[in-house]
Chains A and B, each alone.
Chain A
């Protein structure tokens, strides 16, 4: 069973701080990695994707991937109360058919 692990949280940070969210995965053949944000009662929305080792920045968000350690992270700089949500890590293990495996998510709370 391919697994994606996240700390469930809650992770609480003050407004303006950096929030760091972490994810590990079990399948070394994984090829694509995604971070989704999910507000309470809403469906997940994609915020970052990363495919190769290193950092990828998009505005206040930075995704980091280390395939050797099977680790992917999301940094949120200058955290805002509107960032309060559950963050889901998702991994595509490749193969002939596409299939995403999700972690259970980390609840982030940004305090004003």
Chain B
């Protein structure tokens, strides 16, 4: 089975802090994604990566950056956390071509 593991299930951070969310997958997938999910807004793509050191902006990249130094690991960075970044963050990975994505368990981030 594909396993996508996010480093934290719950996280509370203060406004202005730099926040790192880590994601690791064990299936040698080329593609990795970061989404946030908010009530009424659904899943929105923040960034995705299709190869090591390669990244593309998704629909809502503002206030976020990413890092992919190794194929299995994709990090989401909140440069200066704000209360409007309180959300559920979901990491996913997928092989290339037409296949579906597999999700981690999610990190519920609260910024106070």
Binding site for B on A (CB under 8 A): 1, 31-32, 34, 42-46, 49, 51, 88, 90, 92, 94, 97-105
Contact = CB atoms under 8 A, between A and B. Distances in A.
Given A98-B94, A105-B42, A45 B103 contact: yes
B70 to A, nearest CB: 19
List the 7 shortest-distance A-B pairs measured between CB atoms, nearest first. Answer: A104-B42, A32-B98, A102-B43, A43-B103, A43-B106, A34-B100, A97-B50
A51 B102 CA distance: 18
Majority-rule SS of A interface residues? loop
Interface in B28-68: 31, 33, 35, 40-43, 45, 48, 50, 56, 58-59
Contacts of A105: 42
Given A44-B103, A46-B102, A102 B97 contact: no
B48 A104 contact: no
Contacts of A42: 105-106
Contact of B40 (A1, A32, A97, A104): A104
Contact of A97 (B56, B102, B103, B106): B56
A98 B103 contact: no
Nearest to B59: A1
B48 to A, nearest CB: 6
Nearest to A100: B101
B43 A31 contact: no
B90 interface: yes
Contacts of A49: 99-100
A67 to B, nearest CB: 14
B16 interface: no
A102 B100 contact: no
Given A44-B103, A97-B56, A99-B48, A31 B42 contact: no
A37 to B, nearest CB: 11
A45 B31 CA distance: 17
